[in-house]
Structure 1
Amino acid sequence: MKAIITSKYGAPDTLELKEVEKPVPKADEVLVKIHAASVNYGNIVLLRGKPYIARLAFGLRKPKFPIPGGDMAGTIEAIGEKVTEFKIGDEVYGDLSSCGWGTFAEYATAPEKAVAHKPRNLSFQDAAAVPMAATTALQAIRDIGNVTAGQKVLIHGGSGGVGTFAVQIAKALGAEVTTVVSTRNVAIAHALGADHVIDYKKEKLDDKEQLYDLVIGVNGSQRLLTYKQILQSGGRFIHVGGTESQMYQTMLFGPFISMTGNKKIATFLQRPNHGDLIRMKELIEAGQVKPVIDRSFSLQEVPEALMYFEEGHSQGKVVITIC
């Protein structure tokens, strides 16, 4: 089979398209013929080995996962003898980042619980855009943010992969949603259902008098004290993405800031979850959430896709169409 191979940390141009052996599923695994995958920030971390702390999981000197790619959607071609939930021919989607990565390829094996039935109303390309980004948004808003109907939620960075899902999921949970985007993304934010849109090129976040129960920093670029300033009493800021320096600031100073009052500052790391894939399938089939696709690349164009993603201007998800 064809697969994108990484043998050393570096830029996207270090990736190579090669012929490798087709994997065989273990007793509790499925073999998926991959039709589409998608790009996430985790792919950049795996590619470059930065932040360096990530190398504790990905390999100290070189990547220990030779085939990158976490998200995928495809068709089950074979199943292990202990698999009970799926059969050959089932259409599935999932996030394999916790079980070896490997979705920038024509085939991949995965534990049964790493995948779920694909939403019926999505193409493979649209479904591949969902797993990592959507469950990141879901876990941050529902599990860490504990959002309930009527609360005011701010999504800082509502036009990228995680952000477009975060706006919709917060709305689905009944929140009043404000999002911060650039001028070119204002229309997209409104189309996704945001109640209020702040154009950061025209308005400053701390010029507003509005306070929020939850602020999600998907592409956080403000000082932590600015986020604290716009929180309601008892509110919470959750750092999901943004600059590396802000991530470290949140990790180092967030606990101290949280101890000095009743406003909480926390960082968050998504974890693949079978139940959350099922929950996203329900929301998508109910018409409450839909993926936003910016561009699609072929398997051999993965280096170009990663370079484009790193520019940071994609409107929604970047998808890899494999077959």
Structure 2
Amino acid sequence: MTTTAVTLPPARYEFGADEFVFVEIDQAMSLEANFKAMAITSALREEGLDGIVDICPSNASYMIRVDPERLHPKELVAELQRLERSQSEVAADRTLRTRVVDVPVLYDDPWTRETVLRFRDRHQDPEATDLEYAARINGFSSVERLTEALSGAPFIVTMLGFVPGLPFSYQMVPRERQIEVPKYVRPRTDTPERSFGYGGAFAVVYPVRGAGGYQLFGIAPAPVFDAEQRLPDFASGVVFPRPGDILRYRAIDTAEYERLRSEVDAGTFRYRIREAEFRPAEFLSDPDGVNRDLLEVLYR
């Protein structure tokens, strides 16, 4: 099955004081918009322009921090417009280096279920769990069918934000198969660390305990944020996910969850990671085939 073609408008460029340039690819999130943002920011990194301090891709936009004494923001905009023109065909013929990562998730776990039940007065449907509600409004016959769909196709990390390490990820399926749910009517005041949440069309793993408004579907045994950098996967930084990572939220049972939690506690846990080349144009023409190949690489 192919994706529905999305025609992207010309990008909108804005200045933030004299240090930032914000570029909106599209007002609506789509895989095409995110692929274009990734392609432009990747090309910009490769150029290594003097004066660029930071490059931050987002869902359907990106922001650049610049040192105006070394590179004038207007000169940067001219370069970004050139890169935009070079990407007029969304990510055409471009190859992105990425990581494909196995992210185990215990769906319908006792910890997030207890949290869900404590905050039913803030939910659209107080009589159902978050999973039951999500399954119903997305046309699934059961919670099991919903979790099969969540596990069945990978997600791409479109941005990190709000709290350190929180990966906004968007499932790599045609738009008509996107799972979508609203956020809670009123946010919760408590969400367990490592909860697997869903809001709009985005999945996240909560890096720390705190407030939250996404529907709660499960919990991950491994962290995405490690302030003490105890685990090997955090040796180069306290945050594990990266924009452009491709994550498979694989359903696990309680026994595997407990085993993996023991590895985390012992400091020996490692994510299953495979380096891969990802061609957005190929994905847009054959999403199911590309996903199948990516998962074969991951579990080879």
TM-score above 0.5, yes or no? no
TM-score, structure 2 normalization = 0.29
